[in-house]
Amino acid sequence: MPDSATLPTLEDAISLGLTEGEYELICEKQGGPPNQVELAMYSLLWSEHCAYKHSKKLLRTLPTEGPHVVMGPGENAGAVDVGNGLVCAFKVESHNHPSAVEPFQGAATGVGGILRDIFAIGARPIAVLDSLRFGEPGESARSRYLLDGAVSGIGHYGNSIGVPTVGGEVYFEGPYEQNCLVNAMALGLAPREQLVRSAAAGPGNVVILFGASTGRDGIGGASVLASAELGEDDDKRPTVQVGDPFEESKLLECSLELLELGLLVALQDLGAAGLTSSASEMASKGEVGIDIDIAAVPLREADMEPFEVMVSESQERMLCVVEPRNVAAVLEVCEKWEVEGAAIGAVTDTGRMRVLRDGEPLGDMPVRALVDDCPLYDLAPAKPAAPLYAPPAQVLDPAASPGESLLALLASPNIASRRPLFEQYDSIVGSRTVRRPEQADAAVLALPDGGALAVSIDCNGRRVAADPRNGTIAAVLECAANLACVGAEPLGTTNNLNFGNPEKPHIAWQLTEAVAGLGEACRALQAPIVGGNVSLYNEAPAPAGPIYPTPVIGMVGRLPDAHRGGRLGFLNEGDAVALVGPFAPAQPASELAKLRGQALPDGLPLVDLGAAVAALAAVRDAVRTGALSSAHDVAEGGVAVALAECAIAGRLGADVRLGDGFWEALGPAGEDDAPNWPEGSADASLFGEAPAGILVSGPEAGLRLLAERAHVRLIGRVDGDRLRVEVDGQPLLDAAVEDLAAAHAGGLKDYFA
């Protein structure tokens, strides 16, 4: 080897993020110390980001199989059967650390990366959703900068490539001040037989790299950014990649045309760790070897070091395996789409990953060692003895009237209208969007057979922080409730586990509990996990500390008739208003508690998962038959905010009575064991939160049918242009819908002036 004279040392390995034990194991696998190229490649593939070394054992406990699953975890994206020969591919992925350094490009390339995952398995992307977390925008100029940059970046990439951004969520909490979260989810559609896997096969076949040329951007991103806590941001700026949606648009069309023509054996996108991970993973999955000739890689800069070529994270690149007789045809399709394509290597039967330059060997590693032999670590979870998170600042006087509290909640950053964000996104390109943002709880996308897909993404990190297990169950239930409100049945789930440093016992505890809750809820809903991503080390030195544990859940479902997709706004005066489900509101960990500056509770009440799942199924079926005029799940801000949201969306008021004995239980399921309202606490009745509550409106006959299968409490009527609510017979709220709408519309507007 040419550079064997100056082999890197243990210290070099440690500076690349490896441990001493890992370095020794690499030496053993290599039969001696690795050279610079080899060490660079090992350090990336053995990073947390690529090897999941602290999370893989936990992830193995999740349910991944079900009747609709076509492709489970391990491929570029998961896929579920949506009927009539079509599959829906989907996945969520994080781009947290790059976005904290440079929000516009970080978020833009997050979208670009998740879209490549979708078309890498042969599906045409049809929708993007995003899940964002920042510090308090009112207090922090940095959070406003990150918010504005991330939203612009998502819009820039999604709008320019012509894939609609149909939904998403954003929360603002102090613990995200130093570590914002930018998770992007994408969905794609493909004929079942066009799905392609990433396993390289056929020794002698040609490896072709196509798309953008390779530059120095994103060198070492996976290990440097994604696998360690962030310190001095500015030093890391060169490790953030720059996105080019136009290049990706051509790459997308080119890839899909290559697959349609049947010219590819395997396809894989280049993401974290660039050529290193895509080539090694393709070889590993196919149990073959791959030789890469870096002299054949089209470069942006002529003098790049071999290891730089191998680890560059330049965007908009794909790697494919092609039979020799098809190489000319592949390059012709590349030429048509003005995409650069180059044969850079070959599949071998050696089981080794070899890096060459014009035939001169620069690196030679067993594929199995690179991809599969990274040690997996057991976590050492321990519940923290003291609270991890400081109470939030008090911004609402606890003595404020219910009316004032409602207006404050509607204008608060976590509840206010998301219109200033989603108006920056094209939500309709592709002509599938049946329900746009703020029209329904989930986005609804028409399918060619007259049915539709529904999709939702959610996670209230504050509730997960209060109780990692029940909080995660609540996040999964909320996604499922969103789907039920449009009439959809869950088909599969994706997740992005955003946590702090798992080597710390309290974070390990959060992670372990959250994954247990995730598995439990997905099993109960029969919505298996088909893919996902893990983002750890989201914490900053004290006093900032770790983020709220944030297991972002994305769920995809199907409804049989796109015309029957549910809406959230009240529709008809005189409709009955009812609350469905085993909903037992409580104030701790609620949005109101946050505005009042209250500390997080230690634990949340248990959820009756069986009753919750039954209630969601009943609502789903009622929406499908057209029995309901509106359906909306009760989330942040409790029943009062949910009522206000239905009123604002429908521009109709309501007359509502809450409190024990003031509502009417409908039907047999409601009579005996419906949960009670919190006694003597008007605040908890109005603003208390809990999973599994759905607010519906419709003709009373339809609600009585619903009551045969779930707890249904009749609480009022749609009426006039004011929202009036009594609790235990006391009139506590009386507000014009117009005023509620104004408060709701104004909360985030100024941050995008």
Nearer to another protein, 121 or 434 (CB): 434
Least CB distance from residue 577 to another protein, whole Å? 25
Q: How far is CA 63 from CA 73, 492, 512, 535, in A?
A: 10, 10, 15, 20
Annotated active-site residue 49? The verdict is: yes
Q: Is residue 543 reached through a cis peptide bond, with omega within 30 degrees of 0 on the bond before it?
A: yes
Nearer to another protein, 337 or 583 (CB): 337
Least CB distance from residue 249 to another protein, whole Å? 6
Nearer to another protein, 420 or 691 (CB): 420
The first and second tokens of residue 691, run together, are: 């999973």
Least CB distance from residue 450 to another protein, whole Å? 10
Of the candidates 624, 620, 636, which has an alpha carbon nearest to the alpha carbon of residue 525? 620
Among 102, 308, 313, 426, binds another protein (CB under 8 A): 426
Q: Does 179 bind another protein (CB under 8 A)?
A: no
Q: Facing residues of 395 across strands?
A: none
Rounded to whole angstroms, how far apart are CA atoms 412 and 596?
12
Q: Does 425 bind another protein (CB under 8 A)?
A: yes
Nearer to another protein, 157 or 509 (CB): 157
For 274, list phi and psi in degrees, rounded to 5.
50, -135
Nearer to another protein, 563 or 651 (CB): 563
Nearer to another protein, 433 or 590 (CB): 433
Least CB distance from residue 196 to another protein, whole Å? 22
Residues with Cβ within 8 Å of residue 72, at least 6 apart in sequence:
64, 65, 78, 528, 529, 530, 531
* Burial (CB count within 10 angstroms: exposed 0-12, middle 13-18, buried 19+), residue 468: buried
Asked if 464 and 548 touch (Cβ cutoff 8 Å), the reply is yes
Counting Cα atoms < 13 Å in the Cβ hemisphere of 451 gives: 14
Stretch that binds another protein, among 32-40, 114-122, 238-246, 375-383 (CB under 8 A): 238-246
Among 35, 94, 277, 433, binds another protein (CB under 8 A): 433
Among 249, 482, 495, 510, binds another protein (CB under 8 A): 249
Stretch that binds another protein, among 245-253, 478-486, 538-546, 647-655 (CB under 8 A): 245-253
Least CB distance from residue 410 to another protein, whole Å? 22
The first and second tokens of residue 389, run together, are: 């998170």
Among 98, 175, 218, 245, binds another protein (CB under 8 A): 245
Nearer to another protein, 567 or 632 (CB): 567
Stretch that binds another protein, among 154-162, 179-187, 590-598, 711-719 (CB under 8 A): 154-162
Among 52, 210, 337, 663, binds another protein (CB under 8 A): 337
The full 3-state SS of 366-381, as one line of letters, equals EHHHHHHCCCCCCCCC
Among 41, 322, 446, 649, binds another protein (CB under 8 A): 446
Nearer to another protein, 682 or 748 (CB): 748
Stretch that binds another protein, among 55-63, 422-430, 481-489, 538-546 (CB under 8 A): 422-430
Of the candidates 536, 533, 453, 498, which has an alpha carbon nearest to the alpha carbon of residue 92? 533
Rounded to whole angstroms, how far apart are CA atoms 616 and 594?
28
Between 55 and 94, how does the x/- string for binding to another protein read (CB under 8 A)? ----------------------------------------
Asked if 73 and 519 touch (Cβ cutoff 8 Å), the reply is no
Q: What is the CA radius of gyration of the chain?
A: 26
Among 338, 360, 397, 738, binds another protein (CB under 8 A): 338
Q: Which of the residues 68, 95, 97, 711 is marked catalytic?
A: 95
Nearer to another protein, 623 or 674 (CB): 623
Q: How far apart are the first and last CA of the chain?
A: 58
Among 91, 95, 432, 594, binds another protein (CB under 8 A): 432
Between 252 and 271, how does the x/- string for binding to another protein read (CB under 8 A)? -x------------------
Stretch that binds another protein, among 103-111, 153-161, 322-330, 346-354 (CB under 8 A): 153-161
Q: Does 434 bind another protein (CB under 8 A)?
A: yes
The full 3-state SS of 152-218, as one line of letters, equals HHHHHHHHHHCCCEEEEEEEECHHHCCCCEEEEEEEEEEEHHHCCCCCCCCCCCEEEEEECCECCCC
729 secondary structure, DSSP code = T
Q: Does 159 bind another protein (CB under 8 A)?
A: yes
The first and second tokens of residue 270, run together, are: 């280049």
Among 49, 53, 95, 156, binds another protein (CB under 8 A): 156
Nearer to another protein, 432 or 717 (CB): 432
Residues with Cβ within 8 Å of residue 442, at least 6 apart in sequence:
167, 435, 454, 455, 456, 482, 483, 485, 486, 488, 557
Q: Does 400 bind another protein (CB under 8 A)?
A: no
Rounded to whole angstroms, how far apart are CA atoms 358 and 360?
6
Stretch that binds another protein, among 210-218, 340-348, 417-425, 576-584 (CB under 8 A): 417-425
Q: Does 161 bind another protein (CB under 8 A)?
A: yes
Number of residues that bind another protein (CB under 8 A): 33
Q: Does 244 bind another protein (CB under 8 A)?
A: yes
Left (φ > 0), alpha (ψ -120 to 50) or beta: where does 187 sit?
A: beta
Stretch that binds another protein, among 157-165, 361-369, 477-485, 709-717 (CB under 8 A): 157-165
Between 552 and 571, how does the x/- string for binding to another protein read (CB under 8 A)? ----------xx--------
Among 427, 456, 550, 629, binds another protein (CB under 8 A): 427
Nearer to another protein, 421 or 604 (CB): 421
For 497, list phi and psi in degrees, rounded to 5.
-85, 100
Asked if 446 and 432 touch (Cβ cutoff 8 Å), the reply is yes
Among 67, 234, 431, 543, binds another protein (CB under 8 A): 431
Residues with Cβ within 8 Å of residue 235, at least 6 apart in sequence:
none
Rounded to whole angstroms, how far apart are CA atoms 208 and 358?
16
The first and second tokens of residue 427, run together, are: 């939500």
For 470, list phi and psi in degrees, rounded to 5.
-70, -30
Q: Does 428 bind another protein (CB under 8 A)?
A: yes
Q: Facing residues of 376 across strands?
A: none
Among 423, 673, 738, 750, binds another protein (CB under 8 A): 423
Tell the residue number behind the tokens 């080899």, with chain if given: 38
Stretch that binds another protein, among 26-34, 87-95, 150-158, 275-283 (CB under 8 A): 150-158
Q: Does 442 bind another protein (CB under 8 A)?
A: no
Among 246, 394, 651, 738, binds another protein (CB under 8 A): 246
Stretch that binds another protein, among 43-51, 246-254, 279-287, 673-681 (CB under 8 A): 246-254
Rounded to whole angstroms, how far apart are CA atoms 467 and 606?
10
Q: How far is CA 361 from CA 23, 293, 345, 352, in A?
A: 22, 9, 13, 12
List contacts with another protein (CB under 8 A): 152, 155-156, 159-162, 244-247, 249-250, 253, 337-338, 422-434, 446, 562-563, 752
Q: Which residues are catalytic?
A: 49, 95
